[in-house]
Chain A
Amino acid sequence: MPGLLILLAFLMAGTLLQHWTSAPIPSAILGMLLLLVFLLFNRKVPPSLAQTTSTLAPLLPLLLMPVSVGIVTHEDLIRTHGITLLAILVISLIPGILVCGWIMSRGK
């Protein structure tokens, strides 16, 4: 449980930081960066946080289902542009794969 409290505390800190600085970055992302800075100073993950992480991580896809179901509100768009969008997703991956593969293999 202390792990969950740590997460909520950093989420709150991120929300406050976002409020004060009006940064365009979402509060949860700021909370994540703050937690990363904390971990870098602390040099290790507190056991309770490690435990909370291993419990919550497998549930992540479940928590994303409600927003994904929202695709039903875009039926018209999928009907008109579905095939084009699929083509864009496939084609745009090709240069990305080439660049990554090339940089990681170059000079080895």
Chain B
Amino acid sequence: MSVLFNMPLFWAGLTIGGFLLGQRVYQLTGKQPFLPPMLTGIILVITTLKLTDTSYEVYMTGGHYLHDLLGPVIVMLAVPLFQQLKAISQNAVRILLAVTLGSATTIFCAWGLAYWWIGEQTLANTLLTKSITTPVAVAIVPQLGGEASLAAGFVILTGMIGVIMIIPMLSLLKMNSPAANGITLGVCAHAIGTARALELGEQESAYAASAMTLTATLHAVVLPLLAPLVT
């Protein structure tokens, strides 16, 4: 069996299989926001790694087949951004303000808390990427002196927590217009929030998708420039 567990193709295959299983589970459980297909897949892969006592390095000999495709897919994100520019142009100033101030507030709050409570530079800096969609977070986190795998974990968790908190909180405060719901979901819960917005309606999802891509683009450009200040 050890031959199988050292085979790159086994791990690449398990990753794809885990994702497909995750999609099934997601459909069957009525699309629960705290059970994205990726999470089910990750849990399956990690459990298998533990049971077979395999290291992450060995896993990555297969995992990098998929990982290497991330570059072109990040470039691809320009397409949805371009398509949404029209939708947001009438309300541009307000949206840009919400995206800039909203995302800055949440990431610097996380950075400050991590610095104060844990006092570890790597962790605090990794948290700075928590509001950007995972592919972009993973791409810029090395520039900030953070850890890619931790960044991915924080981003996914933030998205799940955001989806649970945002709509109830905004409704409680009577700030739940489609624009406010959509923008907040996109800024605070990136792609996972955008998926939730899709269920709320067309307006919400356009706002969320624009907010997500704007946040990601802004942070991808600004955070590396700020890096000398925090590292």
Contacts and interface: CB of A to CB of B under 8 A. Distances in A.
B42 A29 contact: no
A100 B187 contact: yes
Contact of B220 (A29, A62, A90, A102): A29
A25 interface: yes
A66 B78 contact: no
Contacts, number: 265
A85 B154 CA distance: 9
A66 B64 contact: yes
Interface residues of B, number: 96
Contacts of B101: 99, 103
A69 to B, nearest CB: 5
B136 interface: yes
A94 to B, nearest CB: 8
A84 B123 CA distance: 11
A64 B110 CA distance: 23
Chain A interface helix/strand/loop/mixed: helix
Interface string A50-79: 101100110111111111111111100100
B73 A60 contact: yes
Given A69-B149, A86-B157, A100-B180, A7 B72 contact: yes
Interface in B58-78: 59-60, 63-64, 66-67, 69-78
A5 B92 CA distance: 33
A26 B220 contact: yes
30 contacts: A25-B140, A26-B224, A28-B70, A32-B76, A39-B78, A39-B82, A45-B82, A45-B83, A49-B79, A57-B76, A62-B15, A64-B138, A66-B15, A66-B60, A67-B138, A68-B152, A69-B63, A70-B152, A72-B46, A74-B149, A77-B150, A90-B161, A91-B109, A93-B166, A96-B105, A96-B188, A97-B170, A99-B101, A101-B169, A104-B175
